[in-house]
């Protein structure tokens, strides 16, 4: 079993490297190549024709790799939450995050109602539209070394997005339950996601403080990155511990890892934080490649046949809502014209959080509605994950924040990233 597992991990990493390289030749982000490579070797393409490269349940078996990758991604995003930055820009990222999330929910919900979709179902589905996937966005920013106001705002908004999505989702599920039953505990259903966010952020603060103290004790770059790795592994495993002891609410390791990164970056020196992030960037590429290839393997092309008009509304109106909300939020906070025009299109990727929320939603909806909602979210994820990174790249390019691509393109055709 161990031999087989190591073999499959090797195949997954090699697939990612090959398709990432091919993506460069046609000027696509690496992450698009990774996901597409996973799609090719997965059950939807080669598996469909009987060529089993990896087993269909490999994504489930390698769940720990995905959780570890998300932990590192969230931690890295958290290190962008510097108080000096927020003193400079004020509440702009928070306002923009609220507006782009809210507009996505409203646009999807209203159009679904126009097509006579049942109110509770429409509300729950629309609320999932608020979520954005940070992983693909961060990979594009790193690959092209994007820098500027749009990039800085994007990193902050993406980090806040999941918290706003959880709140909108909790309220929507409570309303949907109320419409279907008079005996539902509405108060707890509304406040449950808020409790989850507070607990997750509180744990992140504790991890961040512990991390700061341990980094003073352990000197040397290798020791320090080992400390960060150990604490992040513990953090991402706490969700399983909560489930084991039947704690009555969920826990977001994503938010905890983000908060840990934010605490560290504000308490440690810039030099220390930079050296840790540099080391993380050196040893995590195989983990990140595996994460995106596994995401591609998990994509199921067959769900596209079942989404229909509802799926099309969700996919299109979410993009329009995200862009409009980011534009309105940018106007209100007097952000630059580049932020107003291009930020919204950088918020298209959607994956893990949305799928997780859809699974929770399926427990409160009727079976037929649950199946339809899951199909819509999986189809949207497939499309967003394939086109989202490219649109993010184009948006940052238009904003003038990818300035080295021409030089890098020549290098990339000769050397590995």
Q: How many residues does the chain have?
A: 417
Tokens of 151: 């990039």
Q: What is the rounded distance in angstroms from the CA atom of residue 67 to the CA atom of residue 71?
A: 6
Query: What per-residue confidence (pLDDT) applies to 327?
Result: 94
Residue pair 379/307 in contact by the 8 Å Cβ criterion: yes
For 185, residues 6+ apart whose C-beta sits below 8 A from its C-beta are: none
In order along its 417 residues, the chain shows pLDDT tens digits of 555 888 889 999 999 999 988 988 877 778 778 888 888 988 888 877 877 788 877 877 888 887 888 788 778 877 877 777 667 767 888 899 999 999 999 999 999 999 888 888 899 899 888 888 777 788 888 888 888 888 888 888 887 887 777 778 777 776 776 666 544 566 666 677 677 778 888 999 999 999 888 888 887 777 888 888 899 898 888 877 776 676 666 677 777 888 888 888 888 776 777 777 778 878 888 988 888 888 788 777 776 666 788 889 999 999 999 999 999 999 998 888 989 999 988 888 887 677 767 766 766 677 778 777 877 887 887 788 778 888 988 899 888 888 655 455 555 445 444
Q: What is the rounded distance in angstroms from the CA atom of residue 413 to the CA atom of residue 268?
A: 38
Q: Tokens 């906070």 sit at which residue?
A: 333
Tokens of 31: 């992450």
For 308, residues 6+ apart whose C-beta sits below 8 A from its C-beta are: none
- Per-domain residue ranges for the chain? 60-405
Q: What is the distance, to the nearest Å, from the Cα of residue 401 to the centroid of all Cα atoms in its chain?
A: 21
Q: For the chain, count helices (H), then strands (E).
A: 19, 0
Q: What is the rounded distance in angstroms from the CA atom of residue 347 to the CA atom of residue 354?
A: 13
Q: What is the rounded distance in angstroms from the CA atom of residue 313 to the CA atom of residue 107?
A: 9
Tell me which fold the domain 60-405 belongs to.
Answer: Na+/H+ antiporter like fold (1.20.1530)
- As a three-state string, the secondary structure of 139-175 is HHHHHHCCCCHHHHHHHHHHHHHHHHHHHHHHHHHHH
Query: What are the backbone dihedrals phi and psi of residue 26, each rounded to the nearest 5 degrees, phi first?
Result: -110, 20
Tokens of 89: 């820009």
Nearest to 130 by CA among 152, 154, 163: 163
Residue pair 207/158 in contact by the 8 Å Cβ criterion: no
Query: What per-residue confidence (pLDDT) applies to 413?
Result: 45
Query: What per-residue confidence (pLDDT) applies to 112?
Result: 92
Q: What is the rounded distance in angstroms from the CA atom of residue 160 to the CA atom of residue 77?
A: 10
Q: What is the pLDDT of residues 162-188, one digit of tens each?
A: 777 777 877 777 677 666 654 456 666
Q: Which helix (H) or strand (E) holds 69?
A: helix 63-78
With 0-12 / 13-18 / 19 or more C-beta atoms within 10 angstroms meaning exposed / middle / buried, residue 183 is exposed
């Amino acid at each position: 079993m161990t031999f087989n597992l190591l073999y499959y991990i090797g195949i997954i990493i090699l697939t990612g490297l090959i398709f990432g390289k091919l993506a460069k030749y046609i000027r696509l982000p690496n992450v698009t190549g990774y996901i597409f490579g996973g799609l090719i070797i997965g059950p939807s393409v080669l598996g469909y024709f009987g060529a089993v490269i990896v087993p269909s349940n490999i994504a489930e078996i390698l769940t720990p790799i995905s959780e570890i990758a998300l932990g590192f991604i969230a931690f890295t995003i958290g290190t962008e939450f510097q108080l000096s930055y927020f003193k400079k820009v004020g509440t702009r990222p928070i306002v923009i995050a609220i507006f782009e999330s809210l507009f996505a929910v409203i646009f999807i919900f209203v159009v679904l109602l126009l097509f006579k979709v049942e109110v509770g179902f429409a509300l729950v589905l629309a609320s999932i539209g608020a979520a954005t996937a940070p992983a693909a966005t961060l990979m594009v920013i790193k690959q092209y070394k994007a820098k500027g106001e749009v990039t800085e705002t994007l990193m902050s908004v993406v980090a806040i997005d999941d918290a706003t999505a959880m709140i909108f989702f909790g309220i929507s599920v409570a309303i949907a339950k109320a419409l279907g039953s008079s005996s539902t505990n509405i108060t707890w259903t509304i406040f449950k996601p808020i409790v989850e966010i507070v607990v997750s952020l509180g744990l992140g603060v504790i991890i961040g403080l512990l991390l700061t103290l341990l980094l003073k004790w352990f000197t040397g770059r290798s020791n320090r990155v080992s400390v960060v790795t150990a604490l992040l592994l513990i953090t991402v495993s706490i969700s399983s511990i909560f489930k084991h002891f039947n704690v009555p609410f969920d826990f977001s390791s994503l938010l905890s890892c983000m908060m840990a990164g934010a605490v560290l970056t504000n308490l440690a020196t810039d030099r220390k934080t930079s050296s840790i992030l540099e080391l993380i960037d050196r040893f995590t590429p195989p983990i990140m490649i595996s994460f995106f290839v596994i995401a591609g393997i998990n994509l199921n092309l067959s769900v596209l046949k079942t989404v229909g008009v509802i799926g099309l509304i969700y996919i299109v109106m979410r993009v329009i809502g995200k862009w409009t909300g980011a534009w309105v939020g940018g106007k209100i906070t007097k952000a630059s014209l580049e932020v107003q025009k291009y930020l919204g299109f950088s918020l298209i990727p959607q994956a893990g959080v949305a799928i997780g929320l859809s699974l929770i939603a399926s427990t409160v909806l009727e079976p037929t509605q649950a199946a339809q909602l899951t199909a819509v979210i999986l189809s949207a994820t497939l499309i967003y994950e394939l086109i989202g990174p490219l649109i993010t790249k184009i948006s940052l390019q238009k904003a003038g924040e990818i300035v080295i691509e021409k030089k890098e393109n020549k290098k990339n055709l000769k050397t590995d990233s």
